[in-house]
């Protein structure tokens, strides 16, 4: 069991070991302590595993997971927050907040795995694919497991991006 935990931690670490803008070497390590370049968190959202990375520096201009490149920024772009949704422990969907150096603007990008490559998407497509992934995970859980939701060790976390427009919820 300890070896599985080690392998999992290694995979999470690989998500956040992004190529730096200066020398392409490994920059930083994971950890919640102050001064660390990024923090990682793994949780379950409607039976789908999610790996969340929050970056505290502007060095991360690429995202990699399990040895594959998921996103590479253009010159001057860096990632501040990413959520990677897993399907059978394989990366399937990505939502990331991207900022440009010397500008106070951010953009949310959506990507998904299409066969052997990652392709750009939009919010509507991402939402549909995430719904499908959650339905698949719920179906696999009920069909393939005798464990109920109540006796599994699941930590559900609501993720709220400050950059998203929440005016749709306020009908005045």
Convert the pLDDT of each residue in 97-127 to its tens digit: 999 888 888 999 999 999 999 999 999 999 9
Q: Write phi, then psi, for 142 (nearest 5 degrees).
A: -75, -35
Give the CA-trace dihedral at 23, 61, 115, 42, to 10 degrees: 110
The reply to whether 157 falls in a domain is no
Task: HSE, CB side, 13 Å, CA atoms: give it for residue 163.
Answer: 14
What pLDDT does 131 receive? 96
For 27-40, the pLDDT digits (tens) are: 333 334 456 788 99
In a domain, 47, yes or no: yes
Is 155 a domain residue?
no
- pTM of the full structure: 0.63
Whether 170 is in a domain gets the answer no
Total number of domains in the chain = 1
pLDDT at site 112: 97
111 in Cβ contact with 118 (< 8 Å): yes
Higher-scoring residue by pLDDT: 51, 141:
51
Summarize the confidence of residues 55-73 as an average pLDDT: 88
Asked whether residue 129 is assigned to any structural domain, the reply reads yes
Summarised one tens digit per residue, pLDDT across range 6-28 is: 444 444 445 444 443 333 323 33
Q: Which residue range(s) make up the domain with 128?
A: 2-146
- Please determine, for residue 141, whether its predicted confidence score (pLDDT) is greater than 80: no
- SS3 per-residue string spanning 143-163: HHCCCCHHHCCCCCCCCCCCC
* Residue 126, in any domain of the structure: yes
- Per-residue pLDDT, averaged over 79-107, amounts to 93
Is the CB of residue 98 less than 8 Å from the CB of residue 111?
no
Q: Give the model's pLDDT for residue 34.
A: 53
Contact 106, 87 (CB under 8 A): no
């Amino acid at each position: 069991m300890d070896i599985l935990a080690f392998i999992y931690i290694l995979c999470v670490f690989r998500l956040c070991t992004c190529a730096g803008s200066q020398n392409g070497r490994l920059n930083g390590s994971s950890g919640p302590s102050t001064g660390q370049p990024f923090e990682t968190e793994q949780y379950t959202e409607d039976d789908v595993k999610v790996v969340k990375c929050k970056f505290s520096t502007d060095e991360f201009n690429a995202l990699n997971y399990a040895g594959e490149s998921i996103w590479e920024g253009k010159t001057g772009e860096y990632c501040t927050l990413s959520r990677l949704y897993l399907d059978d422990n394989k990366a399937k969907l990505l939502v990331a907040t991207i900022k440009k150096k010397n500008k106070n603007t951010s953009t949310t990008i959506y990507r998904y795995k299409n066969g052997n490559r990652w392709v750009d998407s939009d919010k509507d497509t991402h939402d549909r694919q995430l719904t499908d992934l959650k339905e698949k995970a719920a179906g696999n859980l009920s069909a393939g497991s005798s464990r109920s939701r109540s006796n599994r060790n699941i930590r559900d976390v609501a993720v709220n991006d400050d950059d998203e427009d929440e005016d749709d919820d306020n009908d005045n």
